Amino acid sequence: MIEVRNLTKRYGDITAVRDVSFTAQTGQILGFLGPNGAGKTTTMRIITGFLPATTGTVKVAGFDIFEQSHEVRKRIGYLPESPPLYADMTVTSYLRFVARIKGVAKRELPDAIDRALQVCGLADVSTRLLGHLSKGFRQRVGLAQALIHNPSVLVLDEPTIGLDPRQIIDIRTLIRELSRDRTVILSTHILPEVAQLCEKVVIINAGEIVVEDTLENLTRELSLEQVFLRAVTKDTGAEHEAGVAEVNA
Amino acid sequence: MKNVLTIAGKELRSYFVSPIAYVVLTGFLLLGGWFFFNLLARFNFLLSLYSSFRNPEAMTRLNLNDFVIAPLLHNLSVVLVILVPVITMRSFAEEKRSGTYELLMTSPLSMTAIVLGKFFGAFVFALIMVLLTAIYPLILLLYGNPELGIIASGYLGLLLIATAFISVGLLTSSFTENQIIAAVSCLVTLLLLYIISWPADTSGPVLGSVLRYLSLTEHFGELVKGIIDTRDLVYFLSVIVLSLFLTHRSVESIRWR
């Protein structure tokens, strides 16, 4: 469960995120959408405790991200936009390092690493150096890293980027399975992915939440593309319709 | 504590899986060997010179500690001024550039564990560097009779100066995500601390003694002479603790910026 309340983040004069509030329930995948530069990554960095908010609060699994940051960080798995990999480590040694700093007990380490390798389809490359892996594998190691300590909350920033179609299907299946007893925030630019996976959709534009609703309600009359374009373009007119036609094509 | 060891182990591994460790160690020992060879050759030359003059007074002043080990340690400390920035420049800068900083900062680690982990990783590397140069006094011990106590005190000095350098290196690395900026600002700071006492003789008694106190060489020189004074130990510990404290603040600043 994630509760974001009135979150604002300013960098000097620039307001990256303005008064953002939304809630993600356990067992739910929340699709977090928005154009580039809308404040998605900033919001996710605040939720994971990487950046402090200027004002507002975030509660993750009942713990306040500012007051009980340590408890939150134990329970959260985070895949940033670019997977945080050490190029000179092998897949296994990297996962062992991450598991240890995430607080996995020593006797559970081998199981945790095996499980992450299996689940993310990395068993064949477990002894390869991270710097030598292809983009798809790097992305999967990034996901394995987010899962290794069995967190109750997952924050995934574009998890399927750079994967081939089969891997995308695998990862989506995996995310759906994981979401059964977890809270998942999924940021992506691929709208069909949201339509397939997410129960709830939050759209952010220019630092403000413009849509927060269930996928079902949103797509009752319009397609998700239309909803998205309508949300992120203020004037509805010919330009907008042209955009929809483009997306549909 | 467990986290400190995990991070220290990762740091140490990262030195040795990249060529950095081997390049630095080879360079350090190559220069050290060259210094040692030349100092020893000069010592032999003086020895044969003084004995041909039959000058017993000069002969008593000629000893391995003052003529070989002390200048060797001073030379090695200058090499450390150049090599330590190369060792520490990656520590924080590289994590920031490659995005792994986000992993560290969103893990349930305390800032203290991160800073101390990085410090101990680099410290163990410096310890390996210093210990490898022990081969030179060992050779002297095999074939001559230098004073062991003075050697031990000098090596304590070399280790302390290396540790102080590392702490400054971590600090400059924590300011930036550019390794070259980290290395250059560390090098400049260390050189400045090294030569800060140069105007001490001409700048009056108060300023002079302050400059002398700030200088790394003055304190290092005492230890090389075999004088273990609390004042010098306190100086090195202050540099180390202050730099690590500031590194901690600098790393934590992401939380309140």
In DSSP notation, A92-127 reads HHHHHHHHHHTT--GGGHHHHHHHHHHHTT-GGGTT
A49 touches chain B (CB under 8 A): yes
Residue percentage of chain B with pLDDT more than 70: 99
**Does the beta-carbon distance from A85 to B109 stay under 8 Å?**
no
Instruction: Write out pLDDT tens, residues A205-214.
Output: 988 999 888 8
Please, what's the b/e burial string for A76-104 (b: 16 or more CB within 10 A of its CB; e: otherwise)?
bbbbbbbbbbbbbbbbbbbbbbbbbbbeb
Assess: ipTM above 0.90.
no
| Mean pLDDT of all residues in B154-171 | 97
Q: Which two tokens stand for residue A17?
A: 């995120």
pLDDT value for A224: 84
**Does the beta-carbon distance from B107 to A98 stay under 8 Å?**
yes
B14, B99, B102 member nearest A88 (Cβ): B14
| Mean pLDDT of all residues in B146-165 | 95
DSSP state of B66: I
pLDDT at A244 over 60: no
Least confident of B32-41, B164-173, B205-214, B226-235: B205-214
Could you please report the per-residue DSSP string of A145-205? Answer: HHHTT--SEEEEESTTTT--HHHHHHHHHHHHHHGGGSEEEEE-S-HHHHHHH-SEEEEEE
CA distance to B42, B120, B163, per residue, from B126 (Å): 29, 10, 7
- pTM more than 0.80: yes
Which tops the pLDDT comparison, B234 or B253? B234
Cα separation of B229 and A93, whole Å?
44
Instruction: Write out pLDDT tens, residues B51-81.
Output: 888 777 778 788 888 999 999 999 999 999 9
Residue percentage of chain B with pLDDT more than 90: 76
Instruction: Write out pLDDT tens, residues B107-142.
Output: 999 999 999 999 999 999 999 999 999 999 999 999
Q: Could you give the domains of chain A?
A: 2-218 (3.40.50.300), 219-249 (no CATH)
Cβ-based contacts under 8 A for chains A and B: 68
| Mean pLDDT of all residues in A171-200 | 90
- Which candidate in B10, B22, B104, B106 is best for mutational testing of the A interface (most A CBs within 10 A)? B106
> What is the amino acid identity at position B187?
L
pLDDT value for A92: 95
CA geometry: angle at B8 spanning B6 and B11, to 5°?
110
Instruction: Write out pLDDT tens, residues A43-67.
Output: 999 999 899 999 999 999 889 988 8
**Does the beta-carbon distance from B103 to A52 stay under 8 Å?**
no
Closest by CA to A101, choosing from B13, B116, B109, B96, is B109
Instruction: Walk across the sheet containing A14-24 and list its strands.
Output: A14-24, A2-11, A55-60, A63-64
pLDDT band at A248 (very low <50, low <70, confident <90, very high): low
pLDDT value for A220: 85
Cα separation of A202 and A210, whole Å?
8
| Mean pLDDT of all residues in A73-83 | 92
Helices vs strands, H then E, count in chain B: 14, 0
Which tops the pLDDT comparison, B256 or A229? A229
Q: Which of residues 111-170 of A touch B (CB under 8 A)?
A: 145
- End-to-end Cα separation, chain B, in angstroms: 28
pLDDT value for B31: 96
**Does the beta-carbon distance from A84 to B257 stay under 8 Å?**
no
**Does the beta-carbon distance from B106 to A101 stay under 8 Å?**
no
CB atoms under 10 Å from CB of A134, counted, come to 12
Give the gyration radius of chain B's Cα atoms. 20
**Does the beta-carbon distance from B102 to A101 stay under 8 Å?**
no
pLDDT value for B257: 60
pLDDT at B253 over 50: yes
pLDDT at A245 over 80: no
pLDDT at B94 over 80: yes
Nearest residue on chain B to A83, judged by CA atoms? B99
pLDDT value for A235: 47
